[in-house]
Amino acid sequence: DLGSSLRGTLDKLRGKSRISEEDVEEVVKEIQRSLLQADVDVSLVMELSDNIKQRALEEEPPSGTPARDFVLRIVYEELVDLIGDSTELPLEEQTIMLAGLQGSGKTTSAAKMAWWFSKKGLRPAVIQTDTFRPGAYDQAKQMAERAEVEFYGDPDNDDPVDIARKGLEATEDADVHIVDTAGRHALEDDLIDEIEEIEATVDPDISLLVLDAAIGQGAKEQAQQFDESVGIGGVVITKLDGTAKGGGALTAVNETDSSIAFLGTGEEVQDIERFEPEGFISRLLGMGDLGSLVERVERAMEETQEEEEDWDPEDMLQGQFTLKDMKKQMDAMNRMGPLDQVMDMIPGFGGGGLKDQLPDDAMDVTQERMRSFEVIMDSMTDQEMENPRSVGQSQVERISRGSGQPEEKIRELLQQHKMMEQTLKQFQGGMDGDMQRMMKK
Ligand code: GDP
Ligand code: MG
């Protein structure tokens, strides 16, 4: 499942605060796979991945957002940017014309949309102009009946333009006129001529292109052609209840410079949804819960901001350095980057500054070690955290049992703490008065 491999890739970023170029490449590759699988146009996928790559590498994660969340957010934002919000459809009097190839779902969507507008308190009418397909009239009439909306069609008239004109007159009491048109199995001149004539006659407020979710690379040509002849103001994507993910809609939206209006999710008149980017993107990426993920990112970002306010990298350079300080510092590293980069933020420490005097491994707490250190710290008492030097063998044994970590690891943590404490003491001693004053500001 593509979604789970994307999730797996993103999960590998968990706990990281900086993203390497390889990390970004890997995430982008997964996203490309998901989008291509969902029938998104190749050149669009490339454009999208370039944007994601560039942003992930160039932008600073706001307030130390974790790498995984940061990348996820960029992916989401770029897709939202491309897809946009749903097509604006005022709840008032209007004429809507549907265009699309045969079988795309126009007739079904006409009835569904009429049902949708009727639920919004409007009075819709469906006008059926398809004289090409046998049975089109009966099908449309039945669907309109199921939707309990007004209907006009004429099985004895073989002039679609004339039907359209008469249909508007016959249903003039309705306020939303939905004009269904014929399709063909391919884009042919007579289809284009016909729909152009109907368009000229009914003068719709908006024409919607109806696309089957399964449409792949063909979406581009259709979108261009229909847009050129009648002007496409929005897209309806149907059959999303199937396995297809509807990536062709992105192509259509992009080509016509429009947006998505409705989604069809079944054969019944009620199976219609107004487009909403979040759910659609989740589906495209195969991540069912993208919405809650993005929500979590936002929450995490808020929390991070709050936490950051009461953690100051300069604190650790003043006075005592306890395990609690070390834990805070580890949390901060998770959010802000490796300690040497955190130190770059402190005036006087960065490149060429005091940082360079540090022994190479003094501040080196790798991700893996940090995780086991965190587990160990959770099993320590407050008193032990404040006073790590007081931790003796019997306590090490107890902490080991409580945390499920080998005693060796606990001694390693205590050792690491000691080393960091000593290094910081050297700094405190080594700083001149100017520096100390500057840092206290
Ligand atoms: P048209 O030729 O463009 O008018 O397409 P139709 O409205 O006749 O639809 C073609 C077929 O697709 C019909 O069998 C519909 O029942 C079916 N269909 C349309 N929309 C949906 C949908 O959202 N979900 C499913 N499962 N079937 C749909
Ligand atoms: Mg039809």
Q: Which atom of ligand 1 is nearest to the CA of 139?
A: 8
Is residue 61 included in any domain, yes or no?
A: yes
Residue 349 pLDDT? 47
Cα 299 to averaged position of ligand 2 atoms, centre (Å): 46
Domain count of the chain? 3
Residue 350 pLDDT? 46
φ/ψ of residue 352, rounded to 5: 80, -10
CB 373 within 8 A of CB 367: no
* 381 shares its domain with 264: no
What is the C-alpha to C-alpha distance for residues 210 and 108, in angstroms, rounded to an integer? 10
Ligand 1: which of 108, 245, 263 to mutate, most ligand atoms within 8 Å of CB?
A: 108
Which segment of 68-77, 134-143, 179-188, 331-340 scores lowest on mean pLDDT? 331-340
- Domain extent for 181: 94-275
Is residue 410 included in any domain, yes or no?
A: yes
* 137 shares its domain with 204: yes
* 404 shares its domain with 271: no
Q: What are 309-360's pLDDT values in tens digits?
A: 555 555 555 667 788 877 777 776 665 555 555 555 544 444 444 555 555 5
Residue 65 in marked binding region: no
Question: Going by DSSP bridges, is the β-strand pair 94-99/234-238 parallel, antiparallel, or unpaired?
Answer: unpaired
Which segment of 192-201, 271-280, 330-339, 402-411 scores lowest on mean pLDDT? 330-339
* 318 shares its domain with 295: no
Residue 216 pLDDT? 81
Q: Where are the alpha helices (DSSP H) in 84-218?
A: 106-119, 136-147, 160-170, 189-202
* 226 shares its domain with 145: yes
CB 100 within 8 A of CB 192: no
* 63 shares its domain with 99: no
Is residue 305 included in any domain, yes or no?
A: no
Residue 124 pLDDT? 98
Would you place residue 425 in the very low, low, confident or very high pLDDT band (cuts 50, 70, 90)? confident
* 345 shares its domain with 429: yes
Is residue 306 included in any domain, yes or no?
A: no
For the residues of 40-105, what is the DSSP string, one character each? --HHHHHHHHHHHHHHHHHSPPGGG--HHHHHHHHHHHHHHHHH-SPPP--SSSEEEEEE--TTSS
* 31, containing H or E segment: helix 21-37
Is residue 244 included in any domain, yes or no?
A: yes
Q: What are 109-148's pLDDT values in tens digits?
A: 999 999 999 999 999 999 999 998 889 999 999 999 999 9
If you search the block for the tokens 């549907």, which residue do you land on?
A: 98
Domain boundary residue among 300, 333, 364?
Answer: 300
Residue 302 has pLDDT above 50, yes or no: yes
Cα 244 to averaged position of ligand 1 atoms, centre (Å): 14
Residue 438 pLDDT? 46
* 200 shares its domain with 293: no
State which of 37-46, 107-116, 398-407, 416-425 shows the largest mean pLDDT: 107-116
**Where residue 13 sits, what CATH number does that domain have?**
1.20.120.140
* 361 shares its domain with 383: yes
Cα 300 to averaged position of ligand 1 atoms, centre (Å): 43
Residue 13 pLDDT? 72
pTM: 0.69
What is the C-alpha to C-alpha distance for residues 44 and 244, in angstroms, rounded to an integer? 18
Structure tokens that stand for 335 in this block: 């959010």
Structure tokens that stand for 87 in this block: 């097509």
Q: What is the ipTM of this complex?
A: 0.99
Across 76-88, average pLDDT:
90
Is residue 307 included in any domain, yes or no?
A: no
**Where residue 149 sits, what CATH number does that domain have?**
3.40.50.300
Which segment of 60-64, 239-243, 385-389, 435-439 scores lowest on mean pLDDT? 435-439
What is the C-alpha to C-alpha distance for residues 309 and 335, in angstroms, rounded to an integer? 13
Closest to 250 measured CA to CA, from 55, 48, 404, 105: 48
Cα 264 to averaged position of ligand 1 atoms, centre (Å): 9
Is residue 282 included in any domain, yes or no?
A: no
Residue 121 in marked binding region: no
Contact residues of ligand 1, CB 6 A cut-off? 100, 102-108, 183, 210, 238-239, 241, 264-267, 271
* 127 shares its domain with 185: yes
Residue 432 in marked binding region: no
φ/ψ of residue 211, rounded to 5: -125, 135
Across 86-111, average pLDDT:
96
Residue 101 in marked binding region: yes
Q: Which atom of ligand 1 is nearest to the CA of 108?
A: 7
Residue 3 has pLDDT above 80, yes or no: no
Residue 351 pLDDT? 47
Cα 132 to averaged position of ligand 2 atoms, centre (Å): 9
Ligand (nearest to CA of 108): 1
- The CA angle 160-165-167, to the nearest 5 degrees, is 90
Share of the chain above pLDDT 70, in %: 77
Q: What are 212-258's pLDDT values in tens digits?
A: 999 987 899 999 999 999 999 999 999 999 988 899 999 999 999 99
**Where residue 426 sits, what CATH number does that domain have?**
1.10.260.30
Nearest CA to ligand 1 atom 27: 267
Is residue 399 included in any domain, yes or no?
A: yes
Q: What are 6-51's pLDDT values in tens digits?
A: 777 777 776 676 778 888 888 888 888 888 888 899 999 999 999 9
Residue 181 in marked binding region: yes
